[in-house]
A and B are shown apart, each in its own frame.
Chain A
Amino acid sequence: MNAFILSVRYIRSRKLESSLAILGIVLGVATLAGTLSLISSYESYYDKFSQSPESRQVSVMQASRVRVTDEAAVLIGTTEIENVRFTEAEASAALEVCPDVDSFYQANYRDFRTTASTASAQSGFGGSGGPMMGTVTTSSSSAASPANSSTSAKGSESVTVTESAGPVAGEPPAGETPPDGGDMPPDGGMFGMQTETIDTTIEKPTLEEISGAMVSGGFFNAYSLRAKYGDILSDSGDNSGVPGVVLGASLAEKLYKSVTDPADLIGMKLILNYTTYNIVGVLEYDEWNSSGRNVSFNEMAFTPTSSMRSGSQARSRFNSILYTTKSGGTPAQAAIQLESYFNSIHGDGAVVAEANLDTFYKEVTKRERILTLMAILASASALTAAINLFNLMTSRVVRRRRPIAIMRAIGAWNMKVFAQIMIEASVIGLSGAIVGIALSPVVVGVLGGMLENSASKQSIPVSVNIPILVSVGLGALVVSLIFAAIPAKNGSSLVITDALRSE
């Protein structure tokens, strides 16, 4: 009968109170380990993010503001919202006056549907692409003007795309306005009313919806994205009439069941939001995995902006512009320079420039504040559990005065009794710590998910930090032993005859 087995017997003899003590430790350890693990996870991800190309990007956009006139506030029409649009010339000039800025580009993130529908009219897109701006019809006729139609063949597949610049319907996608602020450029399925002829013999991709972005050529340089097969999109565009699309490495691997080698994708046709694209390139795997984005670049498809496709970049006006911070420059400084420059053009406070790194930092800080509060509460919970253990062990020692006296009478010296009580406390503490550690990944998942859902912009993957879990578990064990030491000392130093007489 060793001390451990005797301790287990004592614990089992008081199952309910032992279970409650263990439960208290479990809750404290699980919550504390989970929150600390999440904080560590966010910090390490921030470190990774700060090294990624994403962190060097700066967004310039219109400030959300209401300009108040001098009229009485109650009168309707006393306020007006001024829309700011950026031109290519302004964007280029910023490079001259902002020393920390390297280049600019466009990137409008959206979802694409790959369904080769034959519907004659659609009312909207899936995802964030905004309302459907035009109509899509399919027919076997080819009554298109030569400039806007193309025919290509790959094996038995043939595609005929006919675009007609019809009347404008609705707004252009966010981030880009047509030249002169009103007329829409011809844009397959994105902007203007259109009529397409789609050959439904085009192989249907395995995915019905994919994430992507309409980007200008500078986007690829900004994120150090290189083509593994084919080419990336270029600002100079191409005159083939069929817009090109570049696929992320992972997307390319799973887009078609029949195509196992991504190299074979080059030249194939892909319908995205009812527009037919020519696959011109497949990217190398993005090692940064698009830090801070909900979807990795590896999973995305990249199409040219409408202005690139229409060749009207110089006349285009944009809702927002993205800049890359020069090597050696700081994103925060670049943002200040850009904001100052554009406000000098559009008026004070009209434009804001946000560095991705700052935005990400704010997001991480916000989450860490919540988690720190939770960690404090979890620590309080763990302390309560420790006090509960102290009370439990004290009451057990009081209840066991006679058994302890008997043990001492038959040969247990005071340190042996002390160790016996400490082992009992450590079994309870260790049980709670182990179960708490085992449950902490659940806490990480639940808390991480809740924070993720509350976040509007950034996605931060969470992970379980094993060293932290082990440290919290060991800490719980040490605290258990510290709080059990006083009752154990009292138990070990009791006077045998008093304890025997007390019965």
Chain B
Amino acid sequence: MINLIGINKYWDKSNGKEGEERVYGLRDVNLEIKRGEFITIMGQSGSGKSTMLQILGLLDLPSEGQFLLEGNDAMLLSDRELARIRNKFFGFVFQSFHLLPELTALENVQLPMTYAGTPAKQRLERSRELLEKVGLSHRMDHHPRAMSGGEQQRVAIARALANDPGFLFADEPTGNLPSETGRQIMEIIQGLNKEGMTIIMVTHDDNLGKLGSRCIRLADGRVIS
């Protein structure tokens, strides 16, 4: 379970002689996310959706407030401990796929397991299994540049599932995909939620927003509903 209590995220922007100007990404956010939920985060551009997802995924830390993960304050964790949580318990799917171009699909999927210290043989088996699950058994040895957007996103999903995380964070996962491919990706994500995985997805598409069990709307960094 994730608890956000009084979270503020801001950046101090230098403003010459007059001192610093504070720019807020999130303001006084209080949120509780339970296991197995499918949460969609919606809002206008600049409303703080991505910032919220990054805070929730521990890709960035809040400026103020409390982040409780299973009751533990994540703000007190070291860089290595945060990396371990992202590696073991969180999975990420980005709008731009964010695969490493030098690695094949199989190697991209293995990477989180490498950081987790999984033995090579086990890594290989698990990677093949995941790529088969997302329907890419025939593209395992291909590099991202030789794949379509949909295929790349499926590799990214397979990578996100590598260490069997409890949470999947998806930042507009269908944003760069044709509608049919996007639909297939959403089917995979919904399937994962049905298997018990907690999904937190950022989208600006109302139709996708309705797929979640709960929709959080943001405006100017505040939760409005």
Please report A residues at the B interface, Cβ cutoff 8 Å.
1-2, 6, 9-10, 13, 402-403, 406-416, 495-497, 500, 503
Note all chain B residues with C-beta closer than 8 A to A407: 100, 111, 115
The answer to whether A6 and B116 touch across the interface, beta carbons within 8 angstroms, is no
Beyond A2-B114, A500-B94, 11 extra complex contacts between A and B, CB < 8 Å: A1-B110, A1-B114, A402-B98, A403-B100, A407-B115, A409-B92, A410-B86, A410-B111, A411-B86, A412-B87, A503-B96
A157, B100: Cα distance in complex, Å: 89
The answer to whether B96 and A496 touch across the interface, beta carbons within 8 angstroms, is no
Note all chain A residues with C-beta closer than 8 A to B100: 403, 406-407
Output the least CB separation between B90 and chain A (Å): 9
Note all chain A residues with C-beta closer than 8 A to B80: 413-415
The answer to whether A495 and B159 touch across the interface, beta carbons within 8 angstroms, is no
Output the least CB separation between A472 and chain B (Å): 32
- Which residue in chain B gives the minimum CB-CB distance to A416? B115
The answer to whether B59 and A496 touch across the interface, beta carbons within 8 angstroms, is yes
A408, B54: Cα distance in complex, Å: 13
Pick from B60, B84, B87: contact of A496, CB below 8 A.
B60
> B36-64 toward A: CB 8 Å interface, digit per residue (1/0)?
00000000000000010010010110000
B residues 57-109 in Cβ contact with A at 8 Å: 57, 59-60, 79-80, 82-84, 86-88, 92, 94, 96, 98-103, 107
The answer to whether A409 and B102 touch across the interface, beta carbons within 8 angstroms, is no
Output the least CB separation between B146 and chain A (Å): 15
Chain A to chain B contacts (Cβ below 8 Å), 14 pairs:
A1-B103, A1-B107, A6-B103, A9-B102, A9-B103, A13-B101, A403-B102, A406-B100, A407-B115, A409-B92, A410-B159, A413-B82, A497-B59, A500-B59
Note all chain B residues with C-beta closer than 8 A to A495: 60
Residue pairs across A and B with CB atoms within 8 Å: the count is: 71
The answer to whether A410 and B92 touch across the interface, beta carbons within 8 angstroms, is yes
Output the least CB separation between A400 and chain B (Å): 9
A408, B92: Cα distance in complex, Å: 11
A500, B95: Cα distance in complex, Å: 11
- Which residue in chain A gives the minimum CB-CB distance to B115? A411
Note all chain B residues with C-beta closer than 8 A to A408: 83
Note all chain B residues with C-beta closer than 8 A to A416: 83, 115
A497, B52: Cα distance in complex, Å: 12
A410 in contact with B115 given A415-B80, A497-B59, A503-B96 (CB within 8 Å)? yes
Pick from A2, A406, A410, A497: contact of B60, CB below 8 A.
A497
Is B209 close to A, CB under 8 A?
A: no
Note all chain B residues with C-beta closer than 8 A to A403: 100-102
A413, B117: Cα distance in complex, Å: 13
- Which residue in chain A gives the minimum CB-CB distance to B96? A503
Pick from B79, B86, B103, B116: contact of A409, CB below 8 A.
B86
Pick from A2, A406, A412: contact of B98, CB below 8 A.
A406
Pick from B51, B88, B94, B102: contact of A6, CB below 8 A.
B102
Pick from A6, A13, A413, A497: contact of B79, CB below 8 A.
A413
The answer to whether A411 and B102 touch across the interface, beta carbons within 8 angstroms, is no
The answer to whether A414 and B60 touch across the interface, beta carbons within 8 angstroms, is no
The answer to whether B79 and A411 touch across the interface, beta carbons within 8 angstroms, is no
- Which residue in chain B gives the minimum CB-CB distance to A496? B59
Output the least CB separation between B88 and chain A (Å): 8
Note all chain A residues with C-beta closer than 8 A to B112: 410-411
The answer to whether A413 and B92 touch across the interface, beta carbons within 8 angstroms, is no
Please report B residues at the A interface, Cβ cutoff 8 Å.
51, 54, 57, 59-60, 79-80, 82-84, 86-88, 92, 94, 96, 98-103, 107, 110-112, 114-116, 159, 163
Note all chain A residues with C-beta closer than 8 A to B57: 409
- Which residue in chain A gives the minimum CB-CB distance to B100? A403
Pick from A10, A402, A410: contact of B102, CB below 8 A.
A10
Could you tell me the dominant secondary structure of chain B's interface residues? helix
- Counting chain B CB atoms within 10 Å of each CB, the highest count among A402, A416, A496 belongs to A496
- Counting chain A CB atoms within 10 Å of each CB, the highest count among B59, B96, B100, B103 belongs to B100
A411 in contact with B83 given A1-B110, A1-B114, A402-B98 (CB within 8 Å)? yes
- Which residue in chain B gives the minimum CB-CB distance to A412? B115
Note all chain A residues with C-beta closer than 8 A to B111: 1, 407, 410
Note all chain B residues with C-beta closer than 8 A to A406: 98-100
A9, B102: Cα distance in complex, Å: 6
A348, B114: Cα distance in complex, Å: 85
- Counting chain A CB atoms within 10 Å of each CB, the highest count among B60, B98, B159, B163 belongs to B98
Q: Name the 8 nearest CB pairs between A and B, nearest first.
A: A411-B87, A413-B83, A411-B115, A413-B80, A9-B102, A497-B60, A410-B112, A1-B107
The answer to whether A13 and B102 touch across the interface, beta carbons within 8 angstroms, is yes
A496, B60: Cα distance in complex, Å: 7
- Counting chain B CB atoms within 10 Å of each CB, the highest count among A2, A6, A495 belongs to A6
A500, B178: Cα distance in complex, Å: 23
The answer to whether B54 and A497 touch across the interface, beta carbons within 8 angstroms, is yes
Output the least CB separation between B83 and chain A (Å): 4
Note all chain A residues with C-beta closer than 8 A to B114: 1-2
Note all chain A residues with C-beta closer than 8 A to B159: 410
Note all chain B residues with C-beta closer than 8 A to A414: 79-80, 83
- Counting chain A CB atoms within 10 Å of each CB, the highest count among B84, B102, B115 belongs to B102
A10, B111: Cα distance in complex, Å: 15
- Counting chain B CB atoms within 10 Å of each CB, the highest count among A1, A402, A407, A413 belongs to A1
The answer to whether B59 and A409 touch across the interface, beta carbons within 8 angstroms, is yes
A412, B163: Cα distance in complex, Å: 13
Note all chain A residues with C-beta closer than 8 A to B87: 410-412
Output the least CB separation between A169 and chain B (Å): 84
Output the least CB separation between A281 and chain B (Å): 74
Output the least CB separation between A358 and chain B (Å): 63
- Which residue in chain B gives the minimum CB-CB distance to A403? B100
A415, B115: Cα distance in complex, Å: 12
- Which residue in chain A gives the minimum CB-CB distance to B99? A406
- Which residue in chain B gives the minimum CB-CB distance to A2? B114
A413, B88: Cα distance in complex, Å: 13
Note all chain B residues with C-beta closer than 8 A to A411: 83-84, 86-88, 112, 115-116, 163
Output the least CB separation between A420 and chain B (Å): 11
A496, B51: Cα distance in complex, Å: 12
A2, B123: Cα distance in complex, Å: 11
Note all chain A residues with C-beta closer than 8 A to B98: 402, 406, 409, 500
Note all chain B residues with C-beta closer than 8 A to A6: 102-103
